[in-house]
Amino acid sequence: MARVIKNKELVNTKLATNYGGWMYCEKCNKNIGYLCYVTYDELKFNYECNCGSKGSIFLDFEDSQEGCNCDKELVTIKNRLCCSFDESPLITILDKNLKKYKLEITCKSCNKTYKKEVK
């Protein structure tokens, strides 16, 4: 069943579908990552693309629960950043196409909010 989006704010960014799939910088059209459809509950993503464009994504859903901060790191499995508790794939970031980024993502199954910043 499709989820109902509560907030969807895209700045200089395109998504392949309504709330998941491939993510693109709107200025240079480079692929910057992949957002898994069903495993995240909320996403805050700010980035600077190699082309110089600054973009952001904020997404959450009508049924989103407030996440609780997690001190653990996201686990990397086959280029995907995954939940450290159940290894649910959450997002893939294509670092090679970004100068820097700040990520905050909440896992739908365990409600843990992960934070990652690359400068």
User: For 33, how many CA atoms within 13 A lie in the half-sphere containing its CB?
Assistant: 26
> How do residues 10-52 score in pLDDT, each as one tens digit?
999 999 999 999 999 999 999 999 999 899 999 999 999 999 9
- Assign 3 a pLDDT band (cuts: 50, 70, 90): confident
**Cα end-to-end span (Å), the chain:** 37
> How do residues 81-98 score in pLDDT, each as one tens digit?
999 999 999 999 999 999
Cα 43 off chain centre by: 5
What pLDDT score was predicted for residue 89? 97
Structure tokens at 80: 């995907």
